[in-house]
Structure 1
């Protein structure tokens, strides 16, 4: 008896997307952007991916593992290339600016990722390794490198939140007579900015002040070794 051939897949029939760790991470980042950390659950992630929750666990160990993948997606956008060609302080400026842009694009991730350990986020660790190695080559003592990086990073994350805050949040309109110094400074800043974003100006001022302070610290440390 002749074997009956199974019917071939009909042309044009859509293929179901293959679930991968990367696909899960991108869906998780979109869910965080839409719902915030409070609205992020594995059940909702499965719904966004149109799969059963059990299918996700074939690729990740759990929620913290998903968050580690999200951290890597955001960290991948942080530019560390200047540390290979520029002095540490010049490279730090470029790194900080790209770091702020990366997190300001996804505000809900700031508080979430800033309070979770790096476990599982190997690409993010490589990013930090590049920065640390460059600073050590420049003469920073290993015992101080991470403290210097965290000091800058804390400022960056606060500035990333400020970047998505209303530009007029400090406007003292209606209370100018009660707070004349504050109102005058607000008006002077607006005139000096000439349409530029207040958050961007504050970030640049603060960043350069921090880098200037670290330069002074670096010079003092180096002079002790001479």
Structure 2
């Protein structure tokens, strides 16, 4: 019995030309990779070459999706700001909403403290989530009676405190240890020793104290402004 003749392979299917239907990279993937690089190597370690390696692509391919490192950081800022809770504005009194926002803001940036000196001073142009956040906060403050010309100052005052507090979360527990120079600051050394909380709990305690004082001051300021402006 004869063996069947071997099948002859037909011509190879022609290779598709042009770009794939979906890009390999996306804003979300690039942002996630950038956060990973910064988490390992810090801001200085974030270069377009390092980002391309993280994404397992060529730098030239990366530049097809993002113009520069500054644009990547703008995306990162917007991604972090999108996690901040602003739902209390328009629902709760302005002071309670502001406190909830501040807590969420601090928690979001405490998870990315190496980014604070960089992205906290980036323009918000091209950052839709950041713009939406500020719009909700501004609307809540305006509805609460804050004059239009003071709304941004209130936001900046709270942000300045929040970002410093976010960095405090990442501070080492021994940051206030005076070591063998107790004679230079004996009162301070005793105060450090008397502090009941340590580590993250100490940061939480200081944040709550400062935020309560800040908001109380803002309440008093608004009352004085209303009395003055009528």
Q: Which of the numbers 204, 207, 218 marks the counterpart of 1:203?
A: 207
User: C-alpha displacement at 1:37, in angstroms?
Assistant: 1.3
Aligned to 1:11: none
Distance 1:129 1:195 in 2: 35
CA deviation string 1:6-33 (max 9, x = no partner): 39xxxxxxxx992111111111111111
- Aligned pairs for 1:13-162 (under 5 A) are 18-162=24-168
Distance 1:195 1:149 in 2: 28
CA deviation string 1:20-55 (max 9, x = no partner): 111111111111111111111111101110111121
Distance 1:101 1:19 in 2: 29
Distance 2:228 2:151 in 1: 17
User: C-alpha displacement at 1:164, in angstroms?
Assistant: 0.3
How well do the aligned residues superpose, as a CA RMSD in angstroms? 2.3
Distance 1:58 1:34 in 2: 25
Q: For residues 195 and 54 of structure 1, do their structure 2 counterparts lie closer, same or farther at Cα, with a shift above 3 Å needed?
A: closer
- Equivalent pair of 2:78/2:130 in contact (CA under 8 Å): yes
- Equivalent pair of 2:106/2:166 in contact (CA under 8 Å): yes
Q: Which of the numbers 2, 13, 16 marks the counterpart of 1:6?
A: 13
Number of aligned positions between the proteins: 215
Aligned to 2:226: 222
The two structures have a TM-score, normalised by structure 1, of 0.87
Runs of 5+ in structure 2 lacking a partner?
1-9, 15-21
Q: What SS is found at the alignment partner of 1:18?
A: coil
User: C-alpha displacement at 1:224, in angstroms?
Assistant: 3.1
Runs of 5+ in structure 1 lacking a partner?
8-15
Aligned to 2:3: none
User: C-alpha displacement at 1:94, in angstroms?
Assistant: 0.8
Q: What SS is found at the alignment partner of 2:195?
A: helix
